[in-house]
Each structure stands twice: as C-alpha cells, then as structure tokens.
Structure 1
Amino acid sequence: MTRAKTLLAVTILSAALLWVFLEMKPAVKPISLRFHALVDGEPLVLDDMRYQNPGGDGQFKVRDFQFYLSNIRLTGPGGDYVLPDSYHLLRFDGDQPYTEIRLPAMDASAFDAIHWGIGVDPEANGTIKITGDLDPNNRMAWNWQVGYKFILFEGGLEDSEGFLPLVYHVGFDENYTPQSLPFAAAAESGEETIVRFTVDIAALFRADGPLDMVTTPSVKFDRDDAARIAAGFPNMISASQ
C-alpha cells in the first residue's frame, strides 16, 4: 500500500472513530420543563366563557391560574439531581402557550423519573424567607397567617341566573402533594432538551365528585373545601408524550 493510500485509510478510520465517539457521547444540554395548561383536554384560553361547569349548569372562564411547584428532583440509573432553591410559581398568563422551568445543562437520558411537590412543603410554608419564587409580599401569600396559596384560580361563571365570580385559593400544609412522573418524553430542540407536561385544571374539580361551581363558587379558608380541591392535585399534572 502506498503512503498516500495508507494516510487516506488512517484518515477515514479516524473520522469513523470520531463519529462513533460523538454518537455515543451523552447530549449535555440545558433542560426545559414545559407545562401546557388544559381544561378537559382543550388548551387553556383565558377570559373565554367556554368551559362547562363540572357539576352543574352554566359555563365558566379562567381569568387567572397559577400554582407553586417545589423541590424538583431527578432520579435514574445515571444518578440523582436535586435542584437547589426549588420553589417555582407557574403562571399561565403570558403570550406563550406554556410556562417553563429551566434546569442546568445535563444528560437528560441519565434520568427516568422526576419528583416534585405541588404546593409548598410545610417547612418552607412556615417561614417568611424569600427562596426561589417564594415571596411573602406577592399575591400568593396569605394575608392572615404565614404561608402561601398553593393554587390560585380566579374566573367567573354564567348560567340562566347571571354572572357569578369564581375564586379558588387553596394552601394548607396538609394540601402539599408529592408527585413522581416518568422522565422519558424528552425531545431535542436546538441547544436544549425539552420535556413536556400537561396541567389539567379541570382535575381540581373532579377528584371528589364533579363540583358544582354554582353552589361552591369560592374556596379559601375552609379546610374541608380546600381538601376537596387538593384531592385533584395528584391527577393535575401528567407527562406529555
């Protein structure tokens, strides 16, 4: 074999080995957790009287919906990752059809499950320390005691009797709900890895039987009423394929 052919063969082999190495190398990219809000399978549209009262007559609209998600942790065969200062207020009032939480650059394939809590854990809920998105001066803080509203839903309902304001604020320590979901629905997008989740707002009004918004238009300080809404927390967020 001539020197030129030998050099060509070595070059081709080196390129092939480099390609294999690059293909096998984990994709280390920032991870975006994207949450898309739905109502009974339909994308959330704010200020539109289009959703059926779960337990009675009339249609309702959502004017404002936000909630706290806390203590995000990833687990899998590649190890565990705990996001520091992990208190996130997810708001669905922007121009984008989703809200997101950004994680540092990691190999998403190293994890197969994600864990968090819906609401604020009792330790953090009993302090005025500002951590993450926790702020005792924001509208998610109760003004009657130390602590936070875990879920804020405000809107209105129209039926044959007219218009009825809707206000559902839920946030007692016992309503904090740990949740674990699969972390397998990852899709590469340019310079980041996107993992999508759906948030079904209607799940809050179904868990303990369909809630009639006419008879229960407001939930704030009653623990039994709050427990009825919080019973829907485990089914509110789902991994999106």
Structure 2
Amino acid sequence: MRAILGLLAAAAVIAGWFILTSGQRKTTPVTRTFHAQMGDEPLVCDQLVYDNPGGDGQFRVRDFRFYLSNLSLGQGDETFAEPDSYHLLRFDNEDRTHSITLPEVPLKSVDTVQILIGVDPAANGSIEVRGDLDPNSQMAWNWEVGYKFVVVEGALKLGEDVVPLVYHVGFSENAREVEFMLPPDVFADGDHEVHLIVDLAKFFDGTAQIDMQALPSVKFNRADAEILADNYAIMITLAF
C-alpha cells in the first residue's frame, strides 16, 4: 500500500512539473524598442542643427523623455496587459533607443499593440510608487499631484540671441492612446522584438505647426498643452 501511495505521489509531482513547465513554454518574451528620430534621421542632441518649423531660427534638443503606460498586446479576442505598466522613456544613450521587455506574454502571437502616451488618470492622481512613477522624481509636478507626460527642453537661436525652450505637458486630458496593427509575419524569424519610431519632429509639426519663437514654453496653459498632445499622439509609428 505504501509503495502504491509512493508511486501516486511521485506521479503527482511529475504531472505538476509537466504542467508547470508546459505553462512556462507557452509564454514568450516580447521586446519593444523605441528609436528616437527627428524626421528620418536619429535624434541629435545638444547641437543647433534643426530649423524652427513654424518660423525663424535653429534649435537644439537638450532633453527628451516621456511616460508610456497601460502597455498591452492582443491576439484576436485575447489581451495581455502588463501589470504596473508605467515606463519612463529616455533617449540619452548613444544609439537613442529605449527598450521595454515583457518577459512572459501568454499569447501564441501578437496582432495588436496598445500604449498610452502619458499616465492614466487613476495613477496620475496618486502618490503611490508604481513602475517608473515616483512622486519625488523630476517628472512630477511640484504644484499638484501628477506627472509631466512629455518633457522636451532645449534652446532656439535667433541671430545672436538664444532663447530657452521648455515644453512640459501633463494635464490628465493630455494622455493619448495609440494602437498598432502588426504585420502577420512580424515574428516569423523567431525574433520577438517590435521596433517603433518616435519622431520628435511631429511634436513640433504634427496636426499643428509650432513656431518656437512665438511659443518657447508650455507648462500651465491647457490650450497650448492640448495642441502639443495632439501632435505627440502621432509621433510614434511602427518601423518596417
């Protein structure tokens, strides 16, 4: 009897191990790599190489960062949403890229990618530390609870004059949801990485064109912030 119980226990352990490892095999890591560009070229920082899209002068970019949240992947009617999905994207490395890896995605394939540029209202009104959200960070407002969704800083040169450029956008209504449909063969080679272009030129010249001389700073004006939010809503595209 003890021998039989021992065999049953061993069988249960083996079956449990098989189910566990089989479940693990059904998950796949998926990486999304964002490439910062200005138009068709990689973003160049700290150099006066870009023309003011809506007026005179040349400008440089010193800092560019933004929050992505609510990252999710879809396959048909199935959706995988990353828990505590709050990422601060920065592009101060040499290749101007930022990668986000979801280590375990329980989908056989991926048809759609959804992201939110900014922070959802619930998290934006909270001081809880989640993901890359930190109320003590440089991305938090110091005048109310909440975060700067997109930060772009630099300078505009007009003749001999240099004007600081400061664009901090982050009212709750400035969050923008973006969805991408992936090609059916995107993972055909076994490389589970999605490449996306972040075109900073669209921030200044998207649905509306910005004259940096007339609008060198945006922080507290809701109308101006809305214009920039509509621009950055189209700054991320799939790379093919």
- Give the equivalent residue in structure 1 for 2:59: 60
- Given the superposition, is the C-alpha separation of residues 108 and 206 from structure 1 closer, same or farther in structure 2, using an over 3 Å criterion? farther
- Give the equivalent residue in structure 2 for 1:118: 117
- After the TM superposition, which residues 60-209 of structure 1 pair with which residues of structure 2 at under 5 Å, given as runs? 60-77=59-76, 79-106=78-105, 110-184=109-183, 186=186, 193-209=192-208
Unpaired runs of 5+ residues, structure 2, are: 1-24
Q: Secondary structure at the match of 2:192?
A: strand
- Give the equivalent residue in structure 2 for 1:12: none
Identity of aligned residues (%): 47
Q: Secondary structure at the match of 1:60?
A: strand
Deviation at 1:108, TM superposition (A): 6.9
2:228 matches 1:229: yes
User: In the aligned structure 1, how far is the partner of 2:28 from the partner of 2:122?
Assistant: 32
User: In the aligned structure 2, how far is the partner of 1:188 from the partner of 1:60?
Assistant: 41
- Given the superposition, is the C-alpha separation of residues 48 and 187 from structure 1 closer, same or farther in structure 2, using an over 3 Å criterion? farther
- Give the equivalent residue in structure 1 for 2:12: none
1:220 maps to a residue whose letter is K
Give the TM-score taking structure 2 as reference length: 0.83
User: In the aligned structure 2, how far is the partner of 1:180 from the partner of 1:96?
Assistant: 25
Q: CA RMSD in A?
A: 2.1
- Given the superposition, is the C-alpha separation of residues 29 and 217 from structure 1 closer, same or farther in structure 2, using an over 3 Å criterion? same
Q: Secondary structure at the match of 2:233?
A: helix
Check whether the contact 1:108–1:193 (CA below 8 A) recurs between aligned residues.
Answer: no
Deviation at 1:119, TM superposition (A): 0.3
User: In the aligned structure 2, how far is the partner of 1:172 from the partner of 1:105?
Assistant: 32
Question: What number of residue pairs does the alignment pair up?
Answer: 215
Per-residue CA distance 1:86-112 (angstroms, 9 max, x = gap): 000000112333101111244776211
User: In the aligned structure 2, how far is the partner of 1:150 from the partner of 1:60?
Assistant: 22
- Given the superposition, is the C-alpha separation of residues 78 and 175 from structure 1 closer, same or farther in structure 2, using an over 3 Å criterion? closer
Q: Secondary structure at the match of 1:139?
A: coil
User: In the aligned structure 1, how far is the partner of 2:92 from the partner of 2:224?
Assistant: 26
Per-residue CA distance 1:29-68 (angstroms, 9 max, x = gap): 4211000011122210111111111101111111100000
Check whether the contact 1:77–1:110 (CA below 8 A) recurs between aligned residues.
Answer: no
Check whether the contact 2:80–2:107 (CA below 8 A) recurs between aligned residues.
Answer: no
Check whether the contact 1:114–1:182 (CA below 8 A) recurs between aligned residues.
Answer: yes
2:36 matches 1:37: yes
Unpaired runs of 5+ residues, structure 1, are: 1-25
